[in-house]
Amino acid sequence: MTNPAPGTGSGDASDATSDDVSADRGSSAATDDAPAPVRLPREVYVLVGASFLIAIGYGIIGPALPNFAHSFDVGLTAASFVVSAFALVRLLFAPVSGRLVTRFGERPTYLWGVSIVAASTILCAFAAEYWQLLLFRAIGGVGSTMFTVSAIGLLIRISPPELRGRASGLWGTSFLLGGVAGPVLGSGLVAVSLRAPFLVYGVALVAATVLVYWQLRRSDLASRADEDDAPTMTFREALRHPTYRAALTSNLTNGWVVLGVRMSLIPLFVAAVLGKDETFTGLALALFAGANALVLLGSGRFADTRGRKPPALAGLALLAVGTVSLGLSENTWLFLAATVVTGIGAGFLNPSHNAALADVLGSKARGGSVLAGFQMAADVGAVVGPLAAGAIAEQWSFPAAFAVTGVIAAGAFVLWLLAKETLPSKVGPAEDAPAERAAVTRSADSAASDD
C-alpha cells in the first residue's frame, strides 16, 4: 500500500494521526523515564535496628556497672575507673580501627567489633575479681571503636548522597531512643542481680551481630563497600578540606557537651545550685533527649535539601547559647528551658556534620583513618570535657565551667562559617571528587618517585 502523495487531504490526515501517535508515545516514554523517588535502602534500616539494640544494651548496664565494680571491695576511684577505662581504650584504639576498616572493609570490621563487645560483656557477668571486670571492659572498648568507626563508614557507603542527612538522623535517633530506654530496663534488672544486665546486653549484641550478618550477607551495596579496589583517602588529605576540619571541631563539641558535660556536670549543678534531687536530674536529661529526638529527623531532611552548613551553624549556635544559659539559670524553669535549647541544638548538629563527613569522603572511597579521626574528636571531648569543666567549676564556678563549654561550641561555629558547602546538589555531580583526586595525586606521586 503506497503512501498518499504529499499535499493531499488524505496525506495531511495521515501525518496528523502519525504526529498524534508520536506525541502519545513521547508522552508515554517521558512518563516511563521519569526518575523514581529515591528511598533509603533496606541496609540502612538494618544498621538502624542494630544500633538500637546496641544502644539499649549499653543503657542497660549503665546503672549496674559502678555498683558492680564497687561490689569487689574496691574504692570509689577504682569503681569509676572501670567506666573511664572503656572510653580511654576507645580513644586509644581508634587509629587502629581506622586501619582495619581500610584494610578489611567496613562490614567485616563491624561484625568483628560487635562480636568482641558481645563476648567481653558476657564475660563481665562472670567476672570473679575486680581486675577481670576491668580487663573485660577494656577489651569491650576495643570492639566498640571497631564497630563505631566501621558503622559510620558503612552508612556512608550504602546511603544515597541526596539522603545522607536523613540516614544519619535516623541512625542517631535509634541510638538516642535506645539510650533512653536502656537505663529504665537496667534499673529493673539490677533488682534481680548486678550481673543480669551484662547477660542481657551480651544477648542483645549477639542479636545485633546475627541481624547485620544475615541481612547484609548478600547485599550488593554492602558488598560494594568491601571492594578492595576502592580509592582511599588519608587523614592528612581530609584535613586539607575546610569542611572536614569544621566537622572535627563540631564533633569535639558534641562529645564535650552531649557525651561529657551533660552527664557529669549537670547532675552536680542540679544538686549544688538548684537544690534538686536525682528525680529532677532525670527529668532534665529526659527533656534533652526528647528535644533532640524531635529535631533529628527533620534536621536530617533539611540538611539534604538546603545544605549541610545551615543546620550545623544553627545547632552550634543553640549549643553555645544553651550551655551558657545552663550555668546562669537561677530557677528550675530557666534551667529546663536551657536544657531544651541545648537538646535542639544537638539535634540540628549531628545529621549535618555526619552528612558533611560523608560528602568529603564520598560513597566510593575508603577512609578508615578519616572516620577514626572524626570519632576520636568526639571521644576526646567526652573524656576531656568533664575533667576540664569539673576542674573549672571547682576552682571558679559553675557559670564559668558552662561558659567555657559555650566557647568550645562558638569556636566550632566559626570554623563552620569558613567551611564549604558539600551538599551534592549544590556543588555538582562529582560528589566523590575529593577521594578520587587524592587517589590520582598519590598515583602521580608514586609515578614521579619511580622515575
- Measured CA angle at 265 (ends 93, 85), to 5 deg: 25
Task: Quote the CA–CA distance of 231 and 322 in Å, as a whole number.
Answer: 41
- On the question of pLDDT at 9 being above 70, the answer is no
Give the model's confidence band at 10: pLDDT under 50 very low, under 70 low, under 90 confident, else very high: very low
Instruction: Tell me how far apart the alpha carbons of residues 63 and 85 are, in angstroms, rounded to a whole number.
Output: 17
Q: Residue 132 has what pLDDT?
A: 94
Return the amino acid letter for 9: G
Facing residues of 232 across strands?
A: 366
Cell for 44? 540502612
Whose CA is closest to 415, among 235, 253, 302, 236? 253
- pLDDT tens profile 225-254: 555 556 778 888 989 999 999 999 999 999
What lies within 8 Å, CB to CB, of 375 at 6+ separation is 94, 145, 148, 149, 152, 251
Question: How is 243-270 classified by DSSP, letter by letter?
Answer: HHHHHHHHHHHHIIIIIIIHHHHHHHHI
- The model's pLDDT over 77-95, given as tens digits with 9 standing for 90+, comes to 777 778 778 878 888 898 8
- Could you report the per-residue pLDDT of 394-425, keeping only the tens digit for each? 889 999 999 999 999 999 999 999 999 988 87
Residue of higher predicted confidence among 3 and 275 = 275
Section 304-317 average pLDDT: 93
| Total length of the chain | 451
pLDDT tens sequence across 120-138: 999 999 999 999 999 999 9
| pLDDT 10s digits, 145-197 | 998 888 888 888 888 888 888 888 888 888 878 877 777 787 778 778 889 98
Q: In order of start, what are the domains of the chain with their CATH numbers?
A: 41-228 (1.20.1250.20), 233-445 (1.20.1250.20)
On whether the CB atoms of residues 81 and 134 are closer than 8 A, the answer is: yes
% of the chain exceeding 90 in pLDDT = 28
- If you average pLDDT over every residue of the chain, what do you get? 81
DSSP structure class, residue 202: H
CA distance 451 to 449: 5
